[in-house]
Structure 1
Amino acid sequence: MVIEQPGQTFIPVESLNARTFGHGIRAAAIGRPLVVFLAHLHSTTGKNLRVTVPLGMTYVHSYLKARFGDAIQIKQLATTQQINEALNEQVPDVFAFGNYSWNTALTNAVIGVVKQRHPKVVVAVAGPNIPTEKPIAQAGLRRNQAADFYISREGEHPLANLVETCLGLADPSDVKGTVVDGCYSLTQEGLILQGDPLDRVGVLEEIPSPYLTGLCDDFLANPEFIPLLQTSRGCPYRCTFCVAGHDWWSKLRAFSVERVKEEIDYIQARTSNPLLRIADENFGILPRDVEIAEHIRKVKDTFSYPSVVQVYTDKHLTKNVKQVTLLMRDLIPLNISFQSLDKQVLKNIKRVNVKDTAIEEAAAFAREHSLVLSTELIFGLPGETIDSFTNSLDKVLDHRFDNVVIYALNILDQAEMAFAEYREKFGLKTRFALSENGYSEYDSVQTFEMDELVVATSTIPEQEYLRFFKFIFFFNFALFYGWLRELVFFFETNGVRATSVIRSMLADPEQCPTLAEFASRFLTGHRAMMRDTREEVAELIRELAESQPEQVTDNQFGAMRYQYAVFSDLFTEGRFAEVVHEFAQSGLRLHRELTGEAPSDSFRAQLDVITQLQIQSFIPLHEPVPETVVLESGYDLVGWKNSNFRQPLADFALVEPARFSLRIEGYQHHERLWDARGNDDIRRIYLRSFASTNANRRRHLELCEESPQA
């Protein structure tokens, strides 16, 4: 046990006369069950939320109940309304909160109210946002003294130690000011107490399944909650932008395959949400993950659930990842998250260096099996430049990735990138903005969750950094959502870089007025949300809540959310076809400049076909449309697509024109959207759809059955 005093290093605490308690207590010294409340809060103020089953809270619940049985009484709470109702019925002895980047401010506000009304309640906060580095812990705990105990990383063992300590006391509140292993605490004198650190849960089967014990039933019955499945814990990688990059998380531990299968069956039988999210950092890293994927395939084929699986597979295209992707080919893409392809940048962020041969192997595997190939890149990583980032984009386009999403660099509290020495080394300058689902109201208190966004580095000045967000906005429009995918690859196969087309469009607003308007709208709004301090952001949102409450309740904050909002504006204003034509004409101008010749009639005919394909592939969400529409072409569009757009469309000319169908996959899902329109305006329909899933936003191209084979 150690204590840390202001201005001093951590030192032993023999002089504190800390109580020592035995283990294995099964009866409360207070003569009744110890009452424990568990809370995992999310905002309920805004609309269009994306909420998962609070699995971490239910893991803790199931572990505590298994360890202490009838000696404790537990309630689990997911909203502030539930907290108010529970506190009206009884006052807990221990109140533990899950602390994450999306609920820190709300959690602190609730704790403040609880402590004011019931000062004897023992409050603990656990989660990945709790500091583990001593200097950060010192500053953080003294800045925010709301809770009595803080638990970083896994919460099961430390919280059990706290509960066991309370069980041995005639008055559980006497635990305050003592040392509990696995916890930090703060004395009234400002001393930081630290119990002995605890190792991971070594055998995950110690934690009974919260699904199979019924602890998640209420969440599964609520369609707002996406089922969350965890098959393993740990990550062997060291990425500096990720909270899982710490050595503590490096050891992989797994739940048994049979248990995971039973959980999948249980979820399928009870969920009201068509999605499934897998929480593993690297699904497919273990050979047994293939067996889990086989079971998901079986459930999907039998019960048509899930409709989409949201998951990050391992960062290497291993045999396991290949098998997992093939088994769930209609549920997940083949995703290789590069983040950057610049060798020095990858070194700076301690990311695995991806070899060109590995990229080509992934592309070849996707082509061979007709898989959707996707990747992610993060703009503004340490050492990146505009040119190096654009080179990375060109490289993934060379390999014909179907979906490419660009994320803005966001500093997470406990990632290595958040530490002062790392920021200084790479010249990271940041500003703050309200995060997605970041506004809440509780007991007349407004709370604000913040994103810390990088706006400059030692290699990208601030103005240049921010201007590039116009490019990101349109690139995501074109490639992540795929609304211009065929046009992108049409020009790529004819020697015109898509990145060059986008940059030329942004540089010439007179030639591309619609794109210029919406890209400027995005950048203006994005910049307007950012402030130098958290306090300035809070003041901004307070003003908006008064003057433009719909902007707050519609949840248009966070870089990706605001991007969705501008996309929704574009669609609801009926401007989509204008952007398609602007891209086509800009590419045509660049092609003329590169070749020095006017485009041939054949080239123009090809461009016209692809332009019509892009427009007709779009699925409007505000009004019912046919499941299938037909497009006639003198080129084998399906053959071109199946070749992964590796050759010019001219190589796929047909002797006789053929008819191609553009079909909506998952048509029933869209029918439900149309049926649920109610009194929502068109814009809110798009916003709600973006909030649920990014899948099935385009029609699927097929050869019509009555057409001769191309």
Structure 2
Amino acid sequence: MSDNKRVTIYLIDPVYENRVLSNYVFPLSISFLSSYLKKVLAEKVSVEIFRFVDELEEKINRNFPDILGTTNYPWTLELSSLILRKFKKQNSNLLTVMGGSNISYDLSSQGKFLRDRPYIDYYVCGDGEIPFENIVSNYIKENGEIKKIKKNVHNGVICLSGNGDIVSSDSPFYRHEKLEEIPSPYLDGTMDKFFNTKLLPMMQTTRGCPFSCVYCYEGNKTYSKVRFFSIERVKAELDYISNKAQKSLLHITDSNFAMFPRDIEICKFIRTLQDKKNWPQSITVATGKDAYKVIKAVNILKPGTITIRAALQSTNPDTLKTIKRKNIDANTYIQLKDSFNNPDDKLEGQTILPLPMETLESHFESYRFMISAGVDNVFVHNLMMLNGTEIKTKEFRDRYNMQTRFRILPRDIGRFFGENCFEYEEICVSTNKFSLQDYKKSRFLQLIMKTVHSVLFEPLLKYIKEGQNFYEFIKALVENSESAPNNLVDVFNRYRNDAEGELFETVEELKNYCSNEENFSKVLKGEIGGNLVQTYYALLITDYAGLMVDFFIKNLAPDHDDTELENLKEFTISRYINLKNSYDEPIEKSFDYNMPEWFDDTSSKKLYEFKGSLNCTFYIYKESASEINSRLKLFGNSDQGISNLLFRVGGINFLRREVKYSNEESL
């Protein structure tokens, strides 16, 4: 133990820092552990939490800890393992602890996990506050003698015996019954150090999920009961963060935010903060499955604060039964968009590719249904084979002949302690009803869907929907991609090649590839291994925006008026801001129609009904310019940086939206 008799504990939830941060939020999970330890053990411990590896290394070089803990999520496992391995090798008396959701529920798989990582003394499963406190208390009781400590295994903890067998209690996955026993890491000052970094505040109002989806680790019955932090605590944290925050974004890590009755009160309080302090301007959160309840709560907030994610995952009844999911009925889904109070609020449909029992036709039908329901965007998740999920079990894989590949996780790559390190994921690419070729077709559709639904192209989308079936337009873009302008065809082909080239059949093949220094350098530079849809989307709406407009217009139904199309193109481009270039200069344009009035009109009037010459000057809102500068400083203006920026905060503020008329008297 440390000479000062206090047990020195360092906890890290590490991020990669290659070009851009791999994760931009405060380390919430370990902050809960820190606050709980300081409450229960008080003067017996000295706890410090970290996000950045170099900061941890510098601290350890000055003062070696007694206990070192790291997180295990799909995006931290390899880096966390490297950290524990390095410092355990440096001092074998160091007690090492790992915890997080990225582990199987199966004891034999847990045993293999620990045997593959002999530098881990304890693994904490489930809610970690009490299990970790038990480990620390036992450490104090046994005066830091690891062999004696490991004879006692409490609920929520696993380890290996001396002969390599898994040791577990009757309840290896722990749930905290009374969340109010956990002090707030904001209100006790634990999080203060992170407000002056690039990181964004993240908070939690609930734990658990009542649904049983087989692809989600919270689908396990262990997490089926939802537990709540008190309304008073949530309000106090929001108020505290609003006084400290230097950035306008907030992350909430709930699984079903705005679905519970109390979320109405939380949203009312957030709206009060927005009105008084103009914070938060944007909230990133997973909204609840009951979209009607969510909309009722989100309508309280300022327009555009939250994108409501109306996830269907699939509309195929056989698929939904297989994945243990029940969607809201079709008629209700179709009416969701009409429930919004403000057109700036967005509805995002979601699917997962490819789910069991899904065919290419049924997958495309899900697109068609969501588009017909008026969603503003369709986001497609690749099916990740997550540890702790039913879908990853051998029985489930074999039943549906699920074939998988491995790929590098975007942004999770770097060099630490002189070693190359990266995270990877296993994704499903085919089933007994969905071929690998089907997967490749769907991957290109992902890019087209993402790009078409950019706020940049909203005038075009409005015009298209007035005159033709929007889903048929999407299909035309996919089918006619080879007839796009030559530069666009090159981009599309690069995307297709990258989407295929990012996949490896085995982990060993992937690791062998990255063991080559030339290959690893390519990954570091972002030449491979990025989020392809996000990166190519950023490329298409910056460097190729004009060509995309031309491509869209070329694939419209043939009976459109050329003058209308020319005005439409000019209006779309005039609103557009290329985040890679200067954007503060106003743009002056002349139109044959009152384009701003047509675009804002919510009736069924067509563009030709707004005939009349008009001169317009397009400006960017002063607040938007300030926000753009702030976001670019945080994320950078590379393709990957812009993709991060747009993914987290959307695009609504990145347009010239203030239009002044030079001949207003004629209107």
TM-score normalised by structure 1 residue count: 0.86
Q: In structure 2, which of residues 370, 393, 397 is the aligned counterpart of residue 423 of structure 1?
A: 397
Distance in 1 between the 2:483 and 2:46 partners? 67
1:146-545 alignment runs, 5 A limit: 146-181=119-154, 182-197=156-171, 199-222=174-197, 224-319=198-293, 321-366=295-340, 371-479=345-453, 481-507=454-480, 509-543=482-516, 545=517
Question: Which amino acid in 2 is paired with 1:159?
Answer: F
Question: Which amino acid in 2 is paired with 1:209?
Answer: S
Distance in 1 between the 2:317 and 2:452 partners? 26
Distance in 2 between the 1:271 and 1:663 partners? 28
Distance in 1 between the 2:585 and 2:235 partners? 34
Matched, 1:564 2:523: no
Deviations 1:85-128 (A, max 9, x none): 23223332222211111110011111111111111112111110
Match of 2:27 in 1: 54
Aligned partners of 1:227 and 1:267 also within 8 Å: yes
Deviations 1:346-384 (A, max 9, x none): 222222222112112212113776632222222212222
Deviating more after overlay: 199-208 vs 408-417: 408-417
Distance in 1 between the 2:348 and 2:592 partners? 28
Cα distance change on mapping 1:630 and 1:416 into 2, 3 Å: farther
Aligned partners of 1:494 and 1:648 also within 8 Å: no
Aligned partners of 1:370 and 1:642 also within 8 Å: no
Matched, 1:699 2:655: yes
Distance in 2 between the 1:100 and 1:582 partners? 41
Match of 1:102, SS state, is coil
Deviations 1:247-272 (A, max 9, x none): 11111111111211121121122223
Distance in 1 between the 2:600 and 2:147 partners? 69
Cα distance change on mapping 1:395 and 1:658 into 2, 3 Å: farther
Match of 1:654 in 2: 610
Deviations 1:441-482 (A, max 9, x none): 222222221111221121111122123312211211111x33
Alpha-carbon distance, 1:50 to partner? 3.5
Aligned partners of 1:48 and 1:687 also within 8 Å: no
Question: Which amino acid in 1 is paired with 2:562?
Answer: R
Structure 2: gaps spanning 5 or more residues: none
Distance in 2 between the 1:688 and 1:519 partners? 21
Match of 1:579, SS state, is helix
Q: In structure 2, which of residues 78, 82, 97 is the aligned counterpart of residue 105 of structure 1?
A: 78
Question: Which amino acid in 1 is paired with 2:514?
Answer: I
Aligned partners of 1:343 and 1:353 also within 8 Å: no
Deviating more after overlay: 210-219 vs 47-56: 47-56
Aligned partners of 2:632 and 2:645 also within 8 Å: no
Aligned partners of 2:577 and 2:656 also within 8 Å: no
Aligned partners of 1:297 and 1:328 also within 8 Å: yes
Alpha-carbon distance, 1:156 to partner? 0.7
Distance in 1 between the 2:485 and 2:4 partners? 75
Match of 1:410, SS state, is coil
Alpha-carbon distance, 1:146 to partner? 2.7
Question: Which amino acid in 2 is paired with 1:86?
Answer: K
Question: Which amino acid in 2 is paired with 1:625?
Answer: Y
Q: In structure 2, which of residues 34, 46, 65 is the aligned counterpart of residue 73 of structure 1?
A: 46
Distance in 2 between the 1:105 and 1:661 partners? 52
Match of 2:545 in 1: 576
Alpha-carbon distance, 1:172 to partner? 3.4
Match of 2:299, SS state, is helix
CA RMSD in angstroms, aligned pairs only: 3.0
TM-score normalised by structure 2 residue count: 0.91
Q: In structure 1, which of residues 615, 630, 634 is the aligned counterpart of residue 593 of structure 2?
A: 634
Match of 2:212, SS state, is coil
Question: Which amino acid in 2 is paired with 1:296?
Answer: I
Aligned partners of 1:618 and 1:697 also within 8 Å: no
Cα distance change on mapping 1:513 and 1:553 into 2, 3 Å: closer
Residue identity over aligned pairs, in percent, reads: 22
Deviating more after overlay: 100-109 vs 622-631: 622-631
Match of 1:39 in 2: 12
Distance in 2 between the 1:347 and 1:628 partners? 54
Question: Which amino acid in 2 is paired with 1:138?
Answer: G
Distance in 1 between the 2:146 and 2:493 partners? 56
Match of 1:66, SS state, is helix
Alpha-carbon distance, 1:556 to partner? 5.9
Distance in 2 between the 1:379 and 1:518 partners? 23
Match of 1:621 in 2: 579
Alpha-carbon distance, 1:304 to partner? 1.9
Aligned partners of 1:48 and 1:554 also within 8 Å: no
Question: Which amino acid in 1 is paired with 2:267?
Answer: A
Cα distance change on mapping 1:671 and 1:137 into 2, 3 Å: closer
Distance in 1 between the 2:247 and 2:200 partners? 6
Match of 1:441, SS state, is strand
Match of 1:95, SS state, is strand
Cα distance change on mapping 1:527 and 1:319 into 2, 3 Å: closer
Aligned partners of 2:451 and 2:541 also within 8 Å: no
Distance in 1 between the 2:632 and 2:370 partners? 39
Structure 1: gaps spanning 5 or more residues: 1-27, 593-598
Aligned partners of 2:99 and 2:124 also within 8 Å: yes
Aligned partners of 1:30 and 1:167 also within 8 Å: no
Cα distance change on mapping 1:389 and 1:611 into 2, 3 Å: farther
Deviations 1:395-419 (A, max 9, x none): 2221221222222222222222211
Alpha-carbon distance, 1:59 to partner? 0.3
Aligned partners of 1:619 and 1:699 also within 8 Å: yes
Distance in 2 between the 1:280 and 1:358 partners? 24
